[in-house]
Amino acid sequence: MGKKKNIQVVASLKDKIHQDTALILTDYTGITHQQLENLRNTVKKIGGDFQIVKNSLLKMILGDVFKIESADLEKLTGPTAILITPTADTTPLAELYKKGKELDALSIKWGIWEGKKIEKETALKLATLPSKEVLLTQLVSQLKNSQTRLVFVLKGNLQKLALLLSEIQKKKGLVN
């Protein structure tokens, strides 16, 4: 019975995991079942999946799908839960990071981003990035400000030219 369940878990995870999926491995030591369920539900609402996986099964999946080296897989010890999220959306990762700080027990081990292994520090940087929508808003704002400044600079030069021509006309007596 156990082997059938393991085969189902591996097959299910392989269906969810692909090259444009981010996979963040966490240590959940010290977190209660209720806290894990709350985190799982929160992450699910914002487009991610958070689940506990046996290390032996996870090693098989990481080796098969992402071709992670066996030396890195051997370092995978202790209780492990994984966050599965699209790489285009860091919102579930940011939520995991926020909850981890609140719980003070959840920690990121390492992860897979765009098919490559990333260390804990890189995962933390990705978790603290603003969302895609916020970054796009900031970009549009910067572009708009740049265009506005350009218009004022060009308009200012034209105004200066018009004033200079007006002064020249006054000096030559062409205008009253």
CA angle, corner 112, sides to 111 and 115, nearest 5? 170
Q: Sheet with 81-86: list strands edge to edge.
A: 49-52, 81-86, 21-27, 107-113, 116-118
Per-residue pLDDT band at 175 (split at 50, 70, 90): low
> What letter would DSSP give residue 68?
-
Per the prediction, the chain carries an average pLDDT of 86
What does the pLDDT read at residue 19? 67
What does the pLDDT read at residue 91? 87
pLDDT tens-digit series, residues 94-121: 999 999 888 888 899 999 988 888 999 9
What does the pLDDT read at residue 52? 93
CB 17 within 8 A of CB 84: yes
Average pLDDT over residues 13-33: 86
